[in-house]
């Protein structure tokens, strides 16, 4: 059984270990996966060496959880879920996978920022070459609310200049670095030679990242997550970010999946479930 231990700066975390040797570290702040190592010892997620790991501050790298707001707005950027302490619900393991689940519910503090009652659950399912994350949002209140949710995943790459993200050919996007106009991506794959920050609304459900640090491709399959955001800060923005090394933009790409472009409406008592599967390509996995 996985047990809570103290991680960096004494922050509580859990290490999930699959029998294949694959490992996943999840911090209770934000139900934030900070490290995922596959069965061959490859690091799949990027984590900044400058991340502060300070209670109440976002962790720079891994898989930040976005809820109930994406980007800037009335709430803290990307929502309050990533800077709140979640409750550990438990872990389980079978031959096929190691699982753990975490929950965040409204508190006096969240209701002060966002006047709604809710329950959010993150479930992590780790297999030898796969990580599946199920994201459940429940409206436990008496009125409908609007929300955005997603996984702001930082993937570790060998060198950003050799990275491509395919699956978005022909898809519409909005470039956050330009105006709000919708453009169509005519390139066979997204490649990186400058700051990139764009949302693809209603993007295809399957994407492939080539050029990952492991030397293998990573397939992303999303479910009930409408949108994809692709982000790399490049040189100037990297320099402006205090919790990110000047050269670290070369070793990461964020491929974010979620309901990030337009908020969804969740009626009272309703439950919304979405999921993302990250698969290191080339190995077949048994379902669990
Ligand atoms: C991306 C946004 O999702 O997150 C970028 O599109 C932003 O504009 C990036 O810079 C990182 O955000 P933060 O709050 O974690 O620094």
Q: What is the pLDDT of residues 144-202, one digit of tens each?
A: 999 999 999 999 999 999 999 999 999 999 999 999 999 999 999 999 999 999 999 99
Query: Is 256 an annotated catalytic residue?
Result: yes
To test ligand 1's pocket by mutation, which of 228, 231, 257 has the most ligand atoms within 8 angstroms of CB?
231
Find the 48 Cα to ligand 1 centroid distance in Å: 14
pLDDT tens per residue, range 223-238: 999 999 999 999 999 9
pLDDT of residue 241: 98
Task: Return the pLDDT at 153.
Answer: 99
**pLDDT, position 214:** 87
Q: What is the pLDDT of residue 132?
A: 98
Is the pLDDT at 9 greater than 80? The verdict is yes
Most ligand 1 atoms within 8 A of CB, residue of 254, 256, 260, 261 to mutate: 254
Distance 180 CA to ligand 1 centre (A): 17
Q: How far apart are CA 62 and CA 108, in angstroms?
A: 28
For ligand 1, say whether the CB of 230 is within 6 Å of any of its atoms.
Answer: no
Catalytic residue among 129, 256, 261, 272: 256
Rounded to whole angstroms, how far apart are CA atoms 278 and 172? 23
Which of 31, 57, 41, 61 shows the shortest CA–CA distance to 49?
61
Give the tens place of pLDDT for each residue, 253-279: 999 999 999 999 999 999 999 999 999
pLDDT for 94 equals 87
The residue to mutate among 67, 77, 79, 177, having the most atoms of ligand 1 within 8 angstroms of its beta carbon, is 77
Which residue's CA is the closest to the ligand 1 atom numbered 14? 77
108 noted as active-site residue: no
Residue 56's closest CA among 30, 20, 83, 38? 83
Rounded average pLDDT over 5-25:
97
Q: Residue 282: pLDDT band by 50, 70, 90 thresholds?
A: low
Nearest CA to ligand 1 atom 10: 233
pLDDT at 2 over 90: no
List, for residues 20-48, the tens digit of each pLDDT value.
999 999 999 999 999 999 998 999 999 99
Q: Say yes or no: CB of residue 244 within 6 Å of ligand 1.
A: no
For position 284, what pLDDT does the model report?
45
How far apart are the CA of 70 and the centre of ligand 1, in A?
9
- In tens, the pLDDT along 94-146 reads 888 999 999 999 999 999 999 999 999 999 999 999 999 999 999 999 999 99
Q: How confident is the model at residue 288 (pLDDT cuts 50, 70, 90)?
A: low
∠ CA 186-155-29 to the nearest 5 degrees? 130
Q: How far apart are CA 26 and CA 208, in angstroms?
A: 24
Give yes or no for residue 234 CB within 6 A of ligand 1.
no
Predicted pLDDT at 286: 56
Is the full-model pTM beyond 0.95?
A: yes
Q: Mean per-residue pLDDT for 87-93?
A: 96
Q: What percent of the chain has pLDDT over 90?
A: 93
The pLDDT mean for the chain works out to: 96
Which is the catalytic residue, given 152, 248, 261, 272?
152
User: How wide is the angle at C-alpha 102 spanned by C-alphas 286 and 112, nearest 5°?
Assistant: 145
For ligand 1, what atom is nearest to the CA of residue 58?
15
The pLDDT value given to residue 1 = 63
Token representation of residue 205: 């459900």
């Amino acid at each position: 059984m996985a047990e809570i231990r103290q991680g960096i700066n004494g922050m509580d975390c859990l290490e999930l270990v699959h029998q294949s040797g694959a490992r996943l570290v999840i911090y209770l702040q934000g139900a934030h996966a900070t490290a995922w190592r596959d069965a061959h010892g490859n690091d799949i997620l990027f984590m900044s060496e400058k991340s502060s790991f300070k209670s109440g501050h976002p962790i720079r790298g891994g898989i930040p959880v976005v809820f109930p707001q994406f980007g800037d707005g009335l709430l803290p950027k990307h929502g309050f879920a990533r800077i709140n302490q979640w409750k550990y619900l438990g872990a389980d393991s079978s031959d096929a996978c190691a699982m753990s689940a975490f929950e965040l519910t409204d508190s006096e503090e969240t209701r002060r920022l966002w006047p709604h009652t809710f329950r959010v659950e993150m479930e992590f399912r780790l297999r030898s070459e796969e990580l599946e994350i199920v994201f459940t949002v429940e409206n436990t209140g008496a009125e409908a609310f609007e929300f955005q949710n997603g996984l702001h995943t930082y993937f570790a790459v060998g060198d950003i200049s050799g990275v491509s993200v395919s699956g978005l050919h022909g898809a519409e996007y909005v470039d956050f670095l330009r105006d709000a106009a919708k453009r169509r991506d005519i390139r066979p794959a997204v490649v990186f030679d400058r700051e990139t920050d764009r949302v693809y609304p209603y993007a295809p459900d399957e994407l492939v990242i080539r050029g990952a640090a492991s030397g293998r491709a990573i397939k992303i399959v999303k479910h009930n997550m409408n949108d994809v955001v692709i982000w790399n800060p490049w040189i100037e923005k990297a320099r402006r970010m205090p919790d990110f090394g000047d050269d670290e933009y070369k070793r990461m790409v964020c491929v974010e999946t979620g309901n990030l472009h337009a908020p969804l409406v969740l009626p009272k008592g309703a439950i919304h479930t979405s999921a993302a599967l990250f698969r290191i390509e080339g190995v077949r996995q048994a379902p669990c």
